[in-house]
Structure 1
Amino acid sequence: MYKELRAGKKEKSRIGRWLGHAVLRTADLAIALPLVLLLLPVYAVVGLLVRMKLGSPVLFKQKRPGRFGQPFHVYKYRTMTDKRDSSGNLLPDEVRLTAFGKLLRKLSLDEIPQLLNVIKGDMSLVGPRPLLMEYMDLYTDEQKRRHWVRPGITGWAQVNGRNAISWEDKFRLDVWYVDNRSFRLYVKILLLTAVKVVRREGVSQEGQATTTKYTGSAASGIGSPS
């Protein structure tokens, strides 16, 4: 999938590209490995609370597209119940998202299992957020370039509005990051993320439990944002 992405990357300097990935990958491991050890008590407490309040399984696992669109399983703590209607269909997010789940999201504690994805190499600490597999065919050619790099726990779009901005703006910011990626920008985004978490900004889109579903860009001719 997304073979054109690989072809496009070959046009750039292989040495420069390799060095850039190597530096950021080293930084990912240097931060994520000790952070996981430091957070072990937090993992235990949050996991126990999720088990008590939301039941099993404690972790939410879902297939998401990684670099060049290659699928991997992303891990999060559960924040929603499995409540269904009489036909067996899951109820809307705003119904299934509990007060406890909202608190986990505000504190970004639901995201910390993704440090394991970083250590495995599926993700980076910084990069475009991994979205749903079903969105892959909805992107414009420009938006597809967000998959040139590993997806991240946080990213340029997250520190510039997170779920409070439109899909079009998110993708524009994601592509900007891909084109301007550097160690300096990586560090800047991590520092801005810490500020955002403390201020609890942009957790959800106005009127939504999280954000609206992406249904395509008007520019692509495939669909339009809902």
Structure 2
Amino acid sequence: MIAAPASRPYDILKRLLDVLGASLAFVVSLPVQAAVAVLVAAELGRPVLFRQTRPGKGGRPFTLFKFRTMKQPDSARGLVTDAERLTRLGALLRSTSLDELPTLLNVLKGDMSMVGPRPLLLAYLARYTSEQARRHEVRPGITGLAQVNGRNAIEWDYKLALDVQYVDNRSFRLDAFILWRTILQVLRRDGISAPDHVTAPEFRGKSDGEDCA
């Protein structure tokens, strides 16, 4: 478990704003979420939600919610890699970030924040340097500093350095900047995937590997 610092007034007020913002966004997006759920069910079947355990603040695990964008792995049908499993609908949902709408539930539950380092895989915890592990000093976010500076198209070292930079410099002004840049990035559909990958290469510490979901 990674030690997390005590809350400060910014963190307390940010949590209140997270609840208000996520509540409003969830209610407003309900018609869109309903439509996406119907499309996902028609193309991929049930469940329509992708659930995966991710590390949160202090490295504590929680269940992340997103809309499914990939078919279930099936080697007999040639569905093994992310590229093989990703559907056309899934690619559209990812490029527009509509697959992220259920993640608002994670914000309401307190697992995540609207802004913060993205929650990655549990397996990565043992691969971070002590400096990189500091990204878990705060709640993970739906969007973050790394996401508005290249998203999946940037190298892991730079991405994790930006996460720690956010931890050290977080403020309401920085959060507002990131949210605004996120809107622009979604509209432009920038940085959705790394070169030669449908998502991002696996983080292995000092070397890159295969795609991760």
Q: Which of the five TM-score ranges fits, normalised by the shorter chain?
A: over 0.9
1:79 aligns with 2:69: yes
Q: After TM superposition, list the pairs within 5 Å mapping 1:20-169 onto structure 2.
A: 20-86=10-76, 91-169=80-158
1:90 Cα deviation (Å)?
5.8
Q: Which 10-residue stretch deviates more, 198-207 or 19-28?
A: 19-28
Larger proportion of strand: 2
1:221 corresponds to which residue? none
Paired amino acid for 1:110: D
Paired amino acid for 2:201: T
Pair 1:22–1:213, CA change in 2 (3 A): same
2:163 corresponds to which residue? 174
Distance 1:176 1:225 in 2: 22
Distance 2:192 2:168 in 1: 26
Distance 1:174 1:83 in 2: 31
Paired amino acid for 1:225: D
4+ long deviations beyond 3 Å? none
1:205 corresponds to which residue? 194
Distance 2:12 2:69 in 1: 34
* CA deviations over 1:180-207 (Å, ceiling 9, x no partner): 0001111110010000000000000011
RMSD: 1.4
Normalised to the residue count of structure 1, the TM-score between the two structures is: 0.89
Distance 2:182 2:173 in 1: 14
Pair 1:90–1:99, CA change in 2 (3 A): closer
Pair 1:90–1:131, CA change in 2 (3 A): farther
Distance 1:85 1:29 in 2: 42
Paired amino acid for 1:173: L
1:84 Cα deviation (Å)?
1.1
* CA deviations over 1:65-114 (Å, ceiling 9, x no partner): 0000000000000000014114x996000000011100000000000100
Distance 1:128 1:204 in 2: 17
Paired amino acid for 1:170: K
Uncovered stretches (5+) of structure 2, i.e. residues with no partner: none
Contact residue 65 and residue 72 of structure 1 kept, 8 A: yes
1:220 corresponds to which residue? none
1:177 Cα deviation (Å)?
0.2
Contact residue 71 and residue 79 of structure 2 kept, 8 A: no
Pair 1:89–1:124, CA change in 2 (3 A): farther
Contact residue 78 and residue 84 of structure 2 kept, 8 A: no
Contact residue 23 and residue 183 of structure 1 kept, 8 A: no
Distance 1:35 1:98 in 2: 26
Structure of greater Rg: 1
Q: 1:225 aligns with which of 196, 201, 208?
A: 208
* CA deviations over 1:11-42 (Å, ceiling 9, x no partner): xxx5xx42011121111112111111111111
